[in-house]
Amino acid sequence: MTKPWDTTSEHLLRELAPQVLGAVARRFRDFSAAEDAVQEALIAAFIQWPKEGIPDNSRGWLIQVASRRMTDQMRSEIARRERETAVAAETENLTSILEIEADMDPDDTLILLFMCCHPALTPSSAIALTLRAVGGLTTAEIANAFLVPEATMAQRISRAKQTIKTSGTPFRLPSPQERAERLPAVLHVLYLIFSEGYASSIGSHLQRFDLAREAIRLTRNTKTLLPDNAEVAGLLALMLLTDARRAARTGPDEELIPLDKQDRSLWDRLEISEGIELLTVALGKGSIGLYQLQAAIAAVHDEAGRAEDTDWPQILALYELLKRVSPGPMVTLNHAIAAAMVHGSAQGLQLLRALDSDPRLASHYRLDAVRAHLLEKTGDYEAAIKHYRVAAARTTSIPERNYLMTQAARLAGE
Amino acid sequence: MKYILMMNTMRAGHGVPEWPQKDLRTHIAFMMSLNKELRESGELVSAEGLSFPEQARLVRAGKNGAPVTDGVFPESKEFLAGYWIVDVDSAERAYAIAAKASAAPGPGGAPLNMPIEVRPIMSGPPLEML
């Protein structure tokens, strides 16, 4: 018995991927090899299912294919070591799929998530491994999303797994204390996937895999696994409240449209109301954090019918909280913008001066961009033009550079 | 973050083609192994070598947009000999790779210390800062 492949099937396959990997890794006690085997099983499903239909027990099918790969690999490994006598004993590991499924643990996906966001990994390796092992993406899809060759991405993933192997991390859920310590790193990886997807969602990168949507899916799943954690909910809310503005963010020529000039009727009302609902529940839990605060700021923007209706005093108050919870030059910079909106550009410019000596920001385009914007508001066009141009020279984003150059040209023409 | 590492070297009529065989071999082996290393570290996006300047032509649009070609001016100081595009976690890592390429062995096996120009590849815009 099978059912036909349709538009939801790809989603089903990706949802099954971490469950299957959890079961196989648990069974064979080898995360790295299991991860390869599951990837092969996924690719086999992507090829066969659209043609032959989706098997009734689709998860069992994937477990079976992956387990077979594992056994084949173990056999050849054993043969290589000329220990044929051991073959029989090892093969017995492959009992029935039912037995493997019975051993499955609802926490498997969570174990995988903590494993993939291992502190020994660089952000780019953690991202790639998370997308493959937890997200069920193929190496080719991940390579496409990051515009690198598939072979390079395969190497990045295999090195990441080697690093985890070397670290000796067992396949089990970290202790509650360790989980609390490591959760920020996990959330950061999910956030980075989102921001990468968001950055690549315009311009010549339209054909790329939609990482922003993928990050939302993964964070949604993480929230199901950790339903009581306010920061997980806060991160999901932040993603939804930001993603809601996607369609309004660029114009017909892919040019960037700043928040105060966006056509707010293009904002996604469903995402906004879901984000606000999540945030309201999260804030009620009483453990405020970095993501909830950022989501709250995004919510204040999203709730304003027109740019001039934005509740800037509330945003300023939220940035003051954020400065305490998660201090950093970017927060200070955004705090200065909010202060300028409430108390006038002169005060904003005054606050920016404190950042001139911060080496983390001194040559960052964003400082010049904000300064240019505030100088323009005070009427000092000459200085504004200068800073818009400095910012244009320093940004590493083409749409942003176009935007900043256009701002300078507009003022120069006035 | 992606960076391009541009190897500027060798004026027309100078450099590599005149090296002794042993030095040439060492140099080529070094470049091959650098590319292999970058592929295995999961950082290589692409690496290309370019022809010697003899094959380079300067092209401009003439009347009616037809191409008008010209040889490269012989007094050109530097030529782009090849480039790497790498995807790395920091600018420092890109500089470290560039330094390694810069020290490719030349005549007598001594490091060339070629200038390598490193520049970020432009990307999409970052998340909106509020």
Q: Domain containing B60 — which CATH number?
A: 3.30.70.1060
Pick the residue from chain A with its C-alpha nearest to B89.
A124
The verdict on residue B87 lying in a domain is yes
Length of chain B: 130
Residue B106 domain boundaries: 2-120
| Whether B89 contacts B1, CB under 8 Å | yes
ipTM of the complex: 0.82
Instruction: Please indicate whether, in this complex, the C-beta atoms of B42 and A152 are within 8 angstroms of each other.
Output: yes
| Whether B100 contacts A375, CB under 8 Å | no
Residue B39: its chain A contacts at CB < 8 A? 151-152, 155
Distance, in Å, from the CA atom of A197 to the CA atom of A202, rounded to the nearest integer, reads 9
Long-range contact list for A247-252, CB < 8 A, 24+ apart?
A: A249/A202, A249/B128, A250/A202, A250/A399
Residue among A147, A194, A199 whose CB faces B125 most closely? A199
Could you tell me the two tokens for A144?
Answer: 């496409």
Instruction: Please indicate whether, in this complex, the C-beta atoms of B130 and A198 are within 8 angstroms of each other.
Output: no
For an interface test with A, which of B39, B86, B90, B130 has the most A Cβ atoms less than 10 Å from its Cβ?
A: B130
> For A97-150, how does the pLDDT look when each residue is reduced to its tens digit (9 = 90+)?
777 887 788 788 999 999 999 999 999 999 999 999 999 999 999 998 888 999
Beta-carbon count within 10 A of A408 CB: 21
Distance, in Å, from the CA atom of A248 to the CA atom of A306, rounded to the nearest integer, reads 13
Q: Residue written as tokens 């295999």?
A: A158
Residue among B1, B45, B122 whose CB faces A152 most closely? B45
Q: Is B125 helix (H, G, I), strand (E, B) or coil?
A: coil
pLDDT at position A47, please?
Answer: 94
pLDDT at position A322, please?
Answer: 96
Instruction: Please indicate whether, in this complex, the C-beta atoms of A198 and B127 are within 8 angstroms of each other.
Output: yes
> For A195-206, how does the pLDDT look when each residue is reduced to its tens digit (9 = 90+)?
888 776 555 555
Q: Check whether A181 has a pLDDT greater than 90.
A: yes
Distance, in Å, from the CA atom of B33 to the CA atom of A133, rounded to the nearest integer, reads 30
What confidence tier does A208 reach under pLDDT thresholds 50, 70, 90? low
The verdict on residue B111 lying in a domain is yes
**B65 burial class (0-12, 13-18, 19+ CB within 10 angstroms)?**
exposed
Beta-carbon count within 10 A of A311 CB: 14
Q: What is the pTM of this model?
A: 0.89
| Whether A52 contacts A64, CB under 8 Å | no
Q: Where are the beta strands (DSSP E) in B72-128?
A: 79-87, 116-120
pLDDT at position B76, please?
Answer: 62
| One-letter amino acid of A240 | L
Q: Check whether B120 has a pLDDT greater than 70.
A: yes
> For B51-83, how does the pLDDT look when each residue is reduced to its tens digit (9 = 90+)?
887 788 889 898 888 888 876 665 566 788 899
Instruction: Please indicate whether, in this complex, the C-beta atoms of B130 and A157 are within 8 angstroms of each other.
Output: no
Considering A115-124, A311-320, B121-130, the range whose residues carry the highest mean pLDDT is A311-320
pLDDT at position A199, please?
Answer: 73
**Mean pLDDT, residues A175-186 taken together:** 93
The verdict on residue B19 lying in a domain is yes
Per DSSP, what are the bridge partners of residue A2?
A55
**What pairing do the DSSP bridges indicate for beta strands A2-3 and A54-55?**
antiparallel
Q: What does DSSP assign to residue B36?
A: H
Number of domains present in the structure of chain B: 1
| Whether A232 contacts A259, CB under 8 Å | no
Residue B41: its chain A contacts at CB < 8 A? 155-156, 159
pLDDT at position B130, please?
Answer: 42
pLDDT at position A197, please?
Answer: 84
Instruction: Please indicate whether, in this complex, the C-beta atoms of A397 and B126 are within 8 angstroms of each other.
Output: yes
Q: Given strand B2-9, what is the order of strands in its sheet?
A: B44-49, B79-87, B2-9, B116-120
